[in-house]
Amino acid sequence: MKLSKRLQAIYDMVPNGVVADIGSDHGKLIISLFQNGIISKGYAIENKKGPYSRLVKAIEDSGCSDSIVPMFSDGISELPSDIDTIVIAGMGGFNIIEILKAHPLKLKNVRTIIVDAHNSIPEMRKQICYMGYIIADEDIVNDGGKYYEIIKFIAGECAYLDNNDFEFGPVLRKEKSLTFKEKYQSRIAEIDNLLSTKKLSGDRILDLDKEKERIRRVL
């Protein structure tokens, strides 16, 4: 089963064990993880009827029904205790934070959290670190013209991170991959375009200038 660049980046970070894929959608990720021997068992969780029906069929068609359990559930409210890794991808950062914080006791045995947020990534990094996890790995990919940041957290006491770490990622800003540079060079061009073509308030102009300067320092 061929995965998109985004799903492949997530796949590459998943450790051996038992995984819950929150918002599993079509189930491609968790099916691939099991079929290739990365995980011993999986839970595919969806809270929308249409996607859940498609998920169940995909698991049945793959022949993985004995080892991948589809669950019609909201977030981690019914998370089984044998899960040691959670994947949450394809939703907003604050939504991810809300899901994780809603049932903290469900995270007792969770050693790894892998996330892919559409927005609010700095705040998500900060809040998950405050929950008792450290950033172990990060990747950035351009998939279909959109940039995705994949972040792997593992349980542990968080080392000191500054605002640049939360905004740009401690691993990403250290590695400075070509894709990382492309994303933020594109953002600088976007800011310059906004400043030259839009009627903006003084505060907005100041915020954009500060953002551009932060990006330049990191690049």
168-217 pLDDT, tens per residue?
999 999 999 999 999 999 999 999 999 998 789 989 999 999 999 999 99
pLDDT exceeds 90 at position 158:
no
pLDDT exceeds 90 at position 86:
yes
User: Residue 149: beta bridge partners?
Assistant: 140
Share the mean pLDDT of the chain.
Answer: 95
What is the CB-side half-sphere exposure of residue 124 using CA atoms within 13 A? 28
| 47, two tokens | 């809270």
Confidence of residue 7 (pLDDT cuts 50, 70, 90): very high
Give the integer Cα–Cα distance in Å for 193 and 191.
5
* 47-67: average pLDDT: 94
pLDDT exceeds 90 at position 157:
no
* 142-156: average pLDDT: 97
- The dihedral built from the CA positions of residue 67, 69, 75 and 79, taken in this order, carries a sign that is negative
User: Where along the chain do its domains lie?
Assistant: 5-161, 176-219
Beta strands in 26-120 (DSSP E): 39-46, 68-72, 85-91, 112-117
pLDDT digits (tens, 9 = 90+) for 94-141: 999 999 999 999 999 999 999 999 999 999 999 999 999 999 999 999
pLDDT exceeds 80 at position 1:
no
pLDDT at site 155? 97
Fold of 5-161: Rossmann fold (3.40.50)
Where residue 18 falls (left for φ over 0; alpha for ψ -120 to 50; beta otherwise) is beta
**Which of 35, 36, 82, 29 shows the shortest CA–CA distance to 44?**
29
- Tell me the percentage of the chain whose pLDDT exceeds 90: 91
Q: Is 146 exposed, middle or buried (0-12, 13-18, 19+ CB in 10 A)?
A: exposed
User: Residue 20: beta bridge partners?
Assistant: 43, 86
* 42-63: average pLDDT: 95
